[in-house]
Amino acid sequence: MQAEIITIGDEILIGQIVDTNSAWIGQQLNAIGISLKQISSIADSAADITTALSLTSGRADLILVTGGLGPTKDDVTKQALAAYFGCGLHRDPEVLAHVQAIFSRSGRPMLEANRKQADVLDICEVLFNQTGTAPGMWVTYKRKHYIVMPGVPHEMKHIMTERVLPRLQQMEQRQPIWHHTMLTAGIGESFLSEQIADIEAALPAHIRLAYLPKPGMVRLRLTATGDDMERLQNETRSIVSQIRQRIGKHFMGDGDITLESLILNFMKRHGLTLATAESCTGGNIAHLITSIPGSSSVFEGAAVTYSNAVKERLLGVKTETIELYGAVSEETVREMAQGAQQRFQVDYAVAVTGIAGPDGGTPEKPVGLVWIAVAGKNGVTVQKHLFGQERNINIERASMAALFMLWECMNAELDIRLI
Amino acid sequence: MQAEIITIGDEILIGQIVDTNSAWIGQQLNAIGISLKQISSIADSAADITTALSLTSGRADLILVTGGLGPTKDDVTKQALAAYFGCGLHRDPEVLAHVQAIFSRSGRPMLEANRKQADVLDICEVLFNQTGTAPGMWVTYKRKHYIVMPGVPHEMKHIMTERVLPRLQQMEQRQPIWHHTMLTAGIGESFLSEQIADIEAALPAHIRLAYLPKPGMVRLRLTATGDDMERLQNETRSIVSQIRQRIGKHFMGDGDITLESLILNFMKRHGLTLATAESCTGGNIAHLITSIPGSSSVFEGAAVTYSNAVKERLLGVKTETIELYGAVSEETVREMAQGAQQRFQVDYAVAVTGIAGPDGGTPEKPVGLVWIAVAGKNGVTVQKHLFGQERNINIERASMAALFMLWECMNAELDIRLI
């Protein structure tokens, strides 16, 4: 089965937003063996929508349409679809009740534009949207399937996950495909690729390896296609185990996991508590950790100590230390980690101080210089890093490096190794 | 002049990477008055590339092609282009010398695949790539312009900025186009649209209004097209001023700004300092603020107080307060804000406590309940919010609501109004 995506919205074409929906949909379809042939991003224009629908229908059996379902006048998707299918729109009572409930819950007044959100194509099956006011729609027309969804990412994901993917999985014509993703950290992409070059070179033609680098980590993804799913799984498993053995401590885990969720689960299992003391990362590590449901059983809190005075007041860093060595130094980061461990009364405290840029660099302490410390059961470990010039990349890389260092320390101290 | 983008690469279609290039190119073209009609993402397949080229050439005068220029086997863009244009490829000596220099600098061995990077289309003009091994190419064929670039973002941006955009700016047939973006906050999309319905209805046909909502804020974008740029600017200015007057305090500012940068600039101008005390937002507000260069002149720090003990220890919240009213309560958030203001010694402190979900809700205190307080010059203001079910959306909405409340407080207390 071939699929295509049509994303509708002027904001994509003038670059005001990046289309992250299509990549997510592509991943999901791929995981269930449906291949995506093309993604077309077009304007909020009825004529362009019609052209795209007719071209896409000539190439694919499954057409996913996102965007342009909002309550405002610039959203023309529903009208264009109705014209294309030659059908009308009607107000769905169940969706209307849902929209009304959302408004009464929040106490906001409900307007005619909001009621219109409940209008759906006459020939569609409604894909109920628990998370917002615009429902999804499934239309089967001339033996092709059209799935229409709002462009708001969490609403689209909800409709896909709850209503669309389970049904697609039951449809025929899917090619057996098996993916295995691994998370690696603390090792760069090219160094990683060099280390496993022979394993990669020996891969059979039906198994592909992809590198998915992000600041501070690299995901590896094996994709195997063939007729026999069990064989694909066995082959993949054997390659994964070769890679694990080769890269050792840099192998973090299987699946589409994150470093922070891995650490959180590990600490939860071992009854450990955590706090962070963050200067240049500005609360990003705390934010990453607290984005995970259930993090409160491990995470006590963070001190984001941007100014020197606050480093002293909240973490007990000594005035002399900062005067003598500076805020970005081995000595300061050490006292930050110790201070956080004591004041938050936690098993592990991670501290970061550095120069994120673009300003604040000097010849001895350039932009990108970051000190990281982990206070654990056996004292404090300190590391120095030199990242790049870009502020936000530096914040991300420092956060990842700090999490990897915490992981390393816990493994060393607790003498627990995954491999 | 109408433009289209073709991005080539399996990794986009299986969702392994998000296409950020197209949004960037869209922005750049838009800024110089070239409108983008469509973005098509296709596979590394010669047949699909040919089809896309022929469809795109029928709709646009300027075709930007990115991706598939790498040294590996799966990259077929150059061969497909040569077949489409009916020309050959030849090795460019200047590019070859550049590739050789890159390899000799890094000490890596150079392979035939790397030498092939210097092969270019016979009918192209080479767009020299200082930052990598794959050169860009400019082809003029049947009065259409084709610009072929590598997919690596920083290489594409280098070629666009240095070689392509300056030339496009000198070409004729650009349609004068003028954009004006405004940021609004503290008001929902449909309520906003209702408030300005008559202004929107009265827009002339050549001016369009778009709503770009994100959790907690809505951007409005006016796009005017016509022949006379000065007239477009004047017309837009008059509409902007009508909208400003209509929505009053919800108008935050002009341009593609964020709420946090607006606040930071405002506080910097008035010599004010800021700290946050965050429970359910987990450091996200601090992270948003510290992502902005120069934030250290305003932002002293944050206390991310996830546990009750830390709320008491770091912020001085009274044990009785938490026992009597709970951690998510008006009384606790008030003491958090006061504690942060005192301990960080700042002019303004923002505090947030709530139930982000998915767990931790009760009938009286459901998931989505968030208390926000701002401690300012004249005491503490407190607000209660009821957001939705999704953890990460709740964190985002609570962060935006807190920033908007801070903005409101500062404006009220300092008696400074933008309008």
State the CATH number of the domain containing residue A319: 3.90.950.20
pLDDT at B369: 97
Of B254, B288, B315, the last residue of a domain is: B254
Mean of the pLDDT values across residues A380-403?
92
Q: Are residues B185 and B317 in the same domain?
A: no
Q: Which residue in B14, B32, B38, B274 has the most chain A C-beta atoms within 10 A of its own C-beta, making it the best mutation to test that interface?
A: B14
Whether residues A39 and A93 share a domain: the answer is yes
| Residue A182 is assigned to a structural domain of this protein | yes
| Residue B419 in domain | no
Encode pLDDT of A254-279 as tens digits.
988 899 999 999 999 999 999 999 99
The pLDDT of residue A418 is 43
A-B contacts at Cβ under 8 angstroms: 276
User: Which tens digit of pLDDT belongs to each residue from A116-125?
Assistant: 999 999 999 9
Question: What is the pLDDT at residue B35?
Answer: 86
**pLDDT tens digits, one per residue of A35-46:** 899 999 999 999
Give the per-residue pLDDT at B174.
66
pLDDT tier, A162 (very low <50, low <70, confident <90, very high otherwise):
very high
Hey, which residues does A139 pair with through a beta bridge?
A146
Q: How far is it, in rounded angstroms, from Cα B407 to Cα A247?
A: 50
Helices then strands, each counted (H, E), chain A = 17, 17
Span A182-197, average pLDDT:
86
pLDDT of residue B33: 81
Q: Please indicate whether, in this complex, the C-beta atoms of B358 and A293 are within 8 angstroms of each other.
A: yes
Give the closest-approach CA distance of A85 to chain B in angstroms.
Answer: 22
Query: What CATH code is carried by the domain that includes residue B204?
Result: 3.30.70.2860
Measured between beta carbons, the chain A residues lying within 8 angstroms of B30 are 14-15
Q: Are residues B250 and B279 in the same domain?
A: no
Inter-residue contact A230 to A415 (CB < 8 Å): no
Contacts B291 to A, Cβ<8 Å: 282, 391-392, 395
Residue A419 domain-assigned (yes or no) = no
Q: Pick from B285, B309, B393: which is nearest to A154 by CB?
A: B393
Please tell me whether residues B73 and B90 are part of one structural domain.
Answer: yes
pLDDT of residue B250: 93
Statement to judge: residues A99 and A186 lie in one domain: no
Chain mean position to CA A75: 28
Is A244 in the same domain as A369? no
Residue A284 covered by a domain? yes
How far from B334 is each of A299, B31, B350, B377, B386, CA to CA, in Å? 23, 46, 10, 14, 18
Domain membership flag for residue A337: yes
For the entire predicted model, the pTM comes to 0.79
By DSSP bridging, strand B274-278 and strand B299-305 are parallel
Nearest CB partner across the interface for A286, out of B256, B304, B392: B304
- Mean pLDDT for A196-215 is 86
Q: Is B301:A282 a contact under the CB 8 Å cutoff?
A: no
Q: Which residue has the tokens 């890093």?
A: A385
Q: B130 and B49 share a domain?
A: yes
Q: Provide the 3-class DSSP secondary structure of residue B384.
A: strand
Q: How far apart are CA A56 and CA B6, in angstroms?
A: 15
**Are residue A129 and residue A32 in the same domain, yes or no?**
yes
| CA distances, A358 to each of A272, A277, A280, A390, A396 (Å) | 36, 22, 12, 7, 15
Q: Which ipTM did the prediction report?
A: 0.78
Helix, strand or coil, per DSSP, at residue B361: coil
Residue with tokens 């205190």: B365
Domain containing A158 — which CATH number? Answer: 3.40.980.10
The pLDDT score that the predictor gives to residue A174 is 66
Q: Are strands A369-376 and A379-386 parallel, antiparallel or unpaired?
A: antiparallel
Burial A94-114 (b: 16+ CB within 10 A, else e): ebbebbeebbeeeeeebbebb
Q: What range does the domain containing B227 cover? A: 177-254
Q: Which residue has the higher pLDDT, B172 or A240?
A: A240
A78, A214: one domain: no
pLDDT tens digits, residue range A60-93? 999 999 999 887 777 799 999 999 999 999 999 9
Q: Are residues A200 and A165 in the same domain?
A: no
Number of other CB atoms surrounding residue B380 within 10 Å:
18
Q: What are the C-alpha distances in Å from A414 to residues A261, B298, B369, B419?
A: 19, 41, 39, 60
The mean pLDDT value for A346-364 works out to 95
Give every residue of chain B whose pLDDT is below 70, as ranges: 72-74, 106, 172-174, 415-419
User: How would residue A383 be classed by pLDDT, with cut points 50, 70 and 90?
Assistant: very high
Amino acid making up residue A183: L
- B23, B98: one domain: yes
Q: Are residues B355 and B207 in the same domain?
A: no
Q: Write down which residue in A234, A254, A274 finishes a domain.
A: A254
B347-368 pLDDT, tens digit each? 999 999 999 999 999 999 999 9
User: What are the tens digits of pLDDT across the range A143-161?
Assistant: 999 999 999 999 999 999 9
Please state, for a pLDDT cut of 90, what percent of chain A lies above it: 73
Q: Is A74 a member of any domain? A: yes
Kindly compute the dihedral angle of the four CA atoms of residues A379, A384, A389, A392, in this order, to the nearest 10 degrees: -20
Contact criterion met (CB < 8 Å) for B301 and A303: yes
The domain boundary residue, chosen from A254, A280, A295: A254
pLDDT above 70 coverage of chain B, percent: 97
- In this complex, the residue of A14, A37, A280 whose CB is nearest that of residue B26 is A14
A114 vs A264: which has the higher pLDDT: A264
Counted domains in chain A: 3
